[in-house]
C-alpha cells in the first residue's frame, strides 16, 4: 500500500502537470520506478496496476490516464491531474484494489 506518511518519508523530485512527484530515495524517476504523484490526492504509481475504479468512481474527475511504458505493474497510471478539485469523498481510496491512493482530507 501507499505510505500515508510519504510527505515525511519521500522527497519531492519533480513537478508534472501542476502536481508534485515524490520518490522514496530522492532519486529521479525512471521507467521502472515512477514514484508517488500528487499530494492532497496521492497515487503510488509503482503500486497502481491500472484497475481504473478510481477514474470511474471519482465524482469530480480528478484522475486522468497517463502512459508509463515499460513499468512492470502497468503501462498506464491514474494521474491525479485535478487534485485541487477533490471533495474528500474518499471513494477512490476505498475502491482501489491495491491501496495505491492516499487522500488527506483538508
Ligand atoms: Fe475523487 Fe473522492 Fe478520491 Fe477526491 S476522494 S479524488 S473526490 S474519489
Ligand atoms: Fe490504479 Fe487503483 Fe486507480 S490500481 S487505476 S489507482 S483504482
Ligand atoms: Zn503525475
Task: Express each pLDDT in 54-101 by its tens digit.
Answer: 999 999 999 999 999 999 999 999 999 999 999 999 999 999 999 999
Q: Is the pLDDT of residue 50 over 70?
A: yes
Tens-digit pLDDT profile for residues 5-14: 999 999 999 9
Q: What string of DSSP letters covers 12-81? A: EEEEETTEEEEETTSPPP-SS---EE-SSEEEETTT-----HHHHH-TT---EEEE-TT-SS-SEEEE-T
ipTM of the complex model:
0.98
Is the C-beta atom of 36 inside 6 A of ligand 1? no
Fold of the CATH domain 6-103: Alpha-Beta Plaits (3.30.70)
Q: Is the pLDDT of residue 106 over 80?
A: no
Q: Is the pLDDT of residue 35 over 90?
A: yes
Q: Is the pLDDT of residue 29 over 70?
A: yes
Cell of 28: 529521479
Is the C-beta atom of 91 inside 6 A of ligand 1? yes
Backbone dihedral region for residue 71 (phi beyond 0: left; psi -120 to 50: alpha; all else: beta): beta
**CA–CA separation, 71 vs 84, rounded Å?**
27
Q: Is the pLDDT of residue 51 over 70?
A: yes
DSSP symbol at 10 = S
Residues with CB under 6 A from ligand 2: 43, 48-54, 78, 95-96, 98, 100-101
Nearest residue (CA) to ligand 1, atom 3: 92
Amino acid at each position: 500500500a501507499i505510505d500515508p506518511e510519504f510527505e515525511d518519508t519521500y522527497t519531492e523530485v519533480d513537478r508534472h502537470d501542476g502536481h508534485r512527484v515524490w520518490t522514496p530515495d530522492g532519486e529521479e524517476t525512471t521507467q521502472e520506478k515512477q514514484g508517488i504523484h500528487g499530494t492532497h490526492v496521492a497515487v503510488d504509481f509503482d503500486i497502481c496496476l491500472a484497475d481504473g475504479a478510481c477514474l470511474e468512481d471519482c465524482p469530480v474527475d480528478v484522475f486522468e490516464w497517463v502512459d508509463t511504458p515499460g513499468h512492470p505493474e502497468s503501462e498506464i497510471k491514474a494521474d491525479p491531474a485535478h487534485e485541487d478539485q477533490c471533495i474528500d469523498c474518499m471513494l477512490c481510496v476505498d475502491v482501489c484494489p491495491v491501496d495505491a491512493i492516499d487522500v488527506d482530507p483538508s
